[in-house]
A and B are shown apart, each in its own frame.
Chain A
C-alpha cells in the first residue's frame, strides 16, 4: 500500500524535476549565449502553452468533458489582468506586487467565468457540451473585441459601439479600444515567473487528482450514475473542476498579456484555433496524462520553429497528429493489436519467460 502512495509522489517529483531541469538548462544556454533570439522569444509563450495544456487536460482527461472554448477563458484572464495593470500602471505600485495582483485577478475572473458558464454548460453532455463551450469561447472573444472602455477625471466610460460614444472629457484615456485592444501593457512576465506558475499549476492539478475532490471528479468521468448512487454531488464537482481549469487558463492569459505590449481579442490569439491547438497538445501527450501534456506542448511548439522548413506545415502537422493519435489510442482494433503485439505486452511476456527459466 505504502508503495503505491510513494509511486504517486515519485511520479509527481519526476514531473517537477523535468520542469526544473528544463529551466536550468535554459538558464545555462542563456548565460553562455547559446540561446537564439527566436528561442528567447518563445520562452514565455512556452510556459503559457504548458499551463493551458495542463489546465485543459484537467477538463478533458480528469473531468472527462471536451471543452472547445478554452481560449475564451485565457482571453478573459488576459484582458481582466491587463485592464487592472492599465488602471494602476501610472501609480506608484511596485512592478512585482502589480504583477502578483494581476495574476490573482486574472485567475479569479477566469474562474468566475468558468463557474458562470459551467452552470448551463455542464447540464449538457458530450457533443453538445463541446459545441456550447466553443460558442462561449467565440462569444467572449467577440464581445471583448467590441468593448470600448476609457477613463477620464469623471471615472470609467463603457461602450459596445465605438470610442466616440464614450463621451470622455479632454483628459480621457482609452483603456480598452475595441478591436485594437489594450496597448502599452508593461512586460511584467518573464521566463522565471512563467516556470514558477507552471510548477504551481502542476502542484494544484496533481494534488487535486490525489485527493477526495479529484477522486470524486474522476468517478463522475468514469460512471456518472454510479457516482451519484454513492452520494457524490455531480454538479458541485463538475463546476469545481471546470472553474479550476478555467482559472488556470486565466493565469496563462495573464502571462500572455504581460508578455506583449499590444493585446487584441483577435481570432488568431483567442479563437477556436487556439483552443484546438491546446487540445492537440493534450491529445498527443495523452488524455489524462499531465506530464505528457507538458512535454507535448513544448515539443509541438518548438519543433515547427526549430525546423525552419516545417513552419509552413505547422497546422497541417497538428491536424495529422490529432487524427493519428486518436486512431491509434482509441480505435478498438488498434487497442486490440497493441495488447497483442505492443511493447508492454512484449516486455511482460519476456519477463514471464525469464521467470519461468
Chain B
C-alpha cells in the first residue's frame, strides 16, 4: 500500500510537469490551430540555458531560471515568426505540422552539435527538504513541482478570463477572421500565445531536469510527445483539461512502469491516447466542433 501511494505521488509529480508542458500545446493548438511539434524541444533548450548560466556564468538558481524563461520566450516567438506564420494560410494543414517537425529536429541537432550527445548532470536548482507523512516520504522537488503547476494554472486561467490580451486569445481561438474584424491583432495574439507557452516550457525544463538530474539533446522529445498526449487526453484547448490529462497520464505511466513493465510503459501511454481518441476524440473536457458543408 505504501509503495502504491508513493508511486501515485511520483505519478502526480511527473504528471504536473506534463501538465505544464501540455499547457503550451493546448494554448497553441486552441489559438493557432496547429500542433507545435517543437514544443518539447524548447523544454530541452530551457534546460540547457539554465544549466549553462548556473554552472558556467555562475548565476544564482532564480536568475538561471529567469534566463531560461526569457531565452525560451524569445526562441518561441522567433520560431513562430520565421517558420509557422508564413504557413498560416497554406493550402494544406499538414504543411505547418511538417515544418514543426523540422524545427524539432533542428533544435535537437543544433543542441547535439553544441553540447554533444552525452548526458550532463543537472544541479539542484531548488532545494527543499523532504516531507514525511506517516510512512510516506514526499520529496521536496515533488512539492515544488505540484505547487508550481497549480500556481501556473490559476494565474493562466485568471489571465485569460480577466485581461484584455486573454480575451483576445479567446476571440482568436473562436474565429480568427471575426477577431480580426473586431480589431484584434491576430499575429500579435498568436505570438503572445507562443511566448507564454515557451516561457512555461522553460520552467518545465528546469523541473524535468531537476527531477531526473540529467540533460541530453533528446530530453524534451519524449516528454513533449507525452504532454501532447496529455493535452489530447484532457481535451485540447482546455486549461483544466491539460492539468487533468497531465496528472492522469503521469500516474498511468508510473504505475505501468512499476507494475507491468518498464519496456512497455511508453506503449501503454500511447495506448491510452489511441483509446481516448477512438472513444472520445474531444478528450475528457473538450468540446465538439461540427464541420461546415
Contacts and interface: CB of A to CB of B under 8 A. Distances in A.
Q: Tell whether any CB of A sits under 8 Å from a CB of B in the complex.
A: yes
Interface of A: 60, 64, 66, 68, 120, 123-124, 126-128, 130-132, 134-136, 138-139, 142-143, 145-146, 160-161, 178-179, 225, 276, 279, 283, 312-313, 315-316, 318-323, 326-327, 329-334
B267 A330 contact: no
Contacts of B92: 64, 330
B98 A127 contact: no
A123 B94 contact: no
B70 interface: no
Dominant SS among interface residues on chain A: helix
A86 B265 CA distance: 29
Contact of A326 (B34, B98, B267, B293): B98
B281 interface: yes
Contact of A322 (B35, B89, B99, B229): B99
A23 to B, nearest CB: 31
Contacts of B271: 135, 139
Contacts of B112: 315-316
A113 to B, nearest CB: 14
Contacts of A146: 261, 263-264, 267
Contact of B278 (A120, A127, A160, A334): A120
Given A126-B94, A145-B263, A146-B261, A326 B87 contact: yes
Contacts of A276: 101, 105
Contact of A323 (B90, B97, B99, B113): B99
B65 interface: no
Question: Which among B113, B270, B281 has the greatest number of chain A C-beta atoms within 10 A?
Answer: B270
Contact of A316 (B101, B109, B266, B293): B109
B281 A124 contact: yes
Given A131-B35, A319-B105, 17 more contacts: A120-B274, A123-B281, A127-B29, A130-B97, A135-B271, A139-B270, A139-B274, A142-B263, A146-B267, A276-B101, A276-B105, A315-B109, A318-B105, A320-B106, A330-B87, A331-B86, A332-B90
Contacts of A128: 232, 277, 281
A198 B156 CA distance: 53
Interface string B8-33: 00000000000000000000010000
A318 B106 CA distance: 8
Contacts of A143: 264, 267
A332 B102 CA distance: 19
B122 interface: no
Contacts of B86: 327, 331-334
B251 interface: no
B67 to A, nearest CB: 25
Nearest to A225: B293
B149 interface: no
A146 B261 CA distance: 9
B95 A326 contact: yes
Contact of B83 (A136, A312, A327, A329): A327
Interface residues of B, number: 45
Nearest to B279: A120
Nearest to A119: B278
Contacts of B109: 313, 315-316, 319
Contacts of A178: 263
B49 interface: no
Nearest to B113: A316
A193 B149 CA distance: 56
A311 to B, nearest CB: 12
A58 to B, nearest CB: 15
Nearest to A228: B293
A189 B281 CA distance: 43
Contacts of A332: 86, 89-91
A139 B267 contact: yes
B48 interface: no
Interface in B88-142: 89-99, 101-106, 108-110, 112-113
Given A126-B93, A331-B86, A332-B90, A160 B102 contact: no
A135 B99 CA distance: 19
A56 to B, nearest CB: 12
Interface string B257-291: 00001011011001101100110010000000000
B106 A316 contact: yes
Nearest to A330: B95
A24 B155 CA distance: 67
Contact of A134 (B225, B261, B263, B264): B225
A326 B83 CA distance: 9
- Going nearest first, the 10 A-B pairs with the smallest beta carbon separation are A322-B102, A319-B105, A135-B270, A330-B95, A323-B102, A319-B106, A331-B86, A142-B267, A146-B263, A316-B109
A136 B228 CA distance: 15
Given A142-B263, A315-B105, A326 B225 contact: no
A313 B105 CA distance: 12
Contacts of B270: 135-136, 138-139
Contacts of B29: 127
Nearest to A320: B106
B87 A327 contact: yes
28 contacts: A64-B92, A66-B98, A126-B93, A127-B93, A128-B277, A130-B35, A131-B228, A131-B229, A132-B274, A135-B229, A136-B270, A136-B274, A138-B266, A142-B264, A143-B264, A146-B264, A146-B267, A161-B261, A315-B105, A321-B102, A322-B101, A323-B99, A327-B87, A329-B95, A330-B90, A330-B91, A331-B87, A332-B90
A249 B181 CA distance: 48
B242 to A, nearest CB: 16
Contacts of B267: 138-139, 142-143, 146
Contacts of B104: 319
